[in-house]
Amino acid sequence: MRLPRVLVPELGEEIRLSGAEAHHLLHVLRVKPGRQVVVFDGLGLEAEAEVVAVSGSTVTLKAGQPRPVETEPPLEIILYPALLKGDKLADVVRAGSELGVSRFVPLVTERSVPREMGRAKLERLRRIAREAAKQSGRALVPKVEEPRELTRLEPVGFGLVAHPRASASLSRLAWPQTGQVALVSGPEGGFTEVEVEHLRKLGFTPIYLGPRILRAETAPLVLAAAAAALRGL
């Protein structure tokens, strides 16, 4: 069985945990002294560790040599999904994290219904990214950034924008070997042609994802899966 993965603030020989991670270890995994786990720092390093003491709500671990985790794709995948209604971004962040996305930047677009994201929702998305990183064995905890206006995006080296009326298709794309890929997808009501033109000028290629219209929470995952399948696996 795979060892439980524990996110720690810092790697070191002795690690003392309290708070949410200790709670998880004590009350969900019910660890006892002697239990082996893997600790990781969310920045690319992990180490094997053993629980050496449990007292009250504190867990003490003894950790071995840190080593780099090799589960990160060679391309840095940055996903820019439009702000979506309800809880739909939670699914995008969860599955996107499993697929290797390293940064999520929700976009405020012309037709986005929600225009902002509250603190609580942002924190929840960050928690989902942490959990997905742990569960999928990633070295990095993907970042979830504050929403940004589409008009404030910077030029990119390689970028795609999913657009049902685009002519380029995924199968013909020449993906870069290394570096970053920026992937943009639209809100429930789609992008305006002005927005697509603006993105094109910033270096994003409009891309067609097939003759079926995908839901706004499916399209960003198709882009992320394509990047993962073609360059990241």
Q: Given the rule CB under 6 A, which residues bind ligand SAH? A: 162-164, 185-186, 190-191, 208-210, 212-214, 216, 219
Shortest Å distance, C-beta 144 to ligand SAH: 19
Shortest Å distance, C-beta 215 to ligand SAH: 7
Shortest Å distance, C-beta 213 to ligand SAH: 5
For 150, residues 6+ apart whose C-beta sits below 8 A from its C-beta are 82, 107, 108, 109, 110, 195, 198, 199
Shortest Å distance, C-beta 197 to ligand SAH: 14
User: What is the H or E stretch that residue 6 is in?
Assistant: strand 5-7
- Looking at the Cβ atoms of 74 and 210, the one nearer to ligand SAH is 210
How far out from the chain centre does Cα 219 lie?
A: 15
- Looking at the Cβ atoms of 83 and 216, the one nearer to ligand SAH is 216
- Looking at the Cβ atoms of 45 and 105, the one nearer to ligand SAH is 105
Distance CA 196, CA 184 (A): 10
Shortest Å distance, C-beta 208 to ligand SAH: 5
- Looking at the Cβ atoms of 80 and 158, the one nearer to ligand SAH is 80
DSSP state, residue 121: H
19 phi-psi bin (left φ>0, alpha ψ -120 to 50, beta other): left
- Looking at the Cβ atoms of 23 and 85, the one nearer to ligand SAH is 85
Per DSSP, the three-state class of 231 is: helix
CB 45 within 8 A of CB 68: yes
In Å, how far are 40, 189, 199 from 6, measured between CA atoms?
A: 6, 40, 39
Beta strands 45-55; 58-63: pairing state: antiparallel
Shortest Å distance, C-beta 231 to ligand SAH: 19
Per DSSP, the three-state class of 21 is: helix
Per DSSP, the three-state class of 70 is: coil
- Looking at the Cβ atoms of 49 and 150, the one nearer to ligand SAH is 150
Name residue 201's amino acid: K
- Looking at the Cβ atoms of 16 and 215, the one nearer to ligand SAH is 215
Shortest Å distance, C-beta 219 to ligand SAH: 3
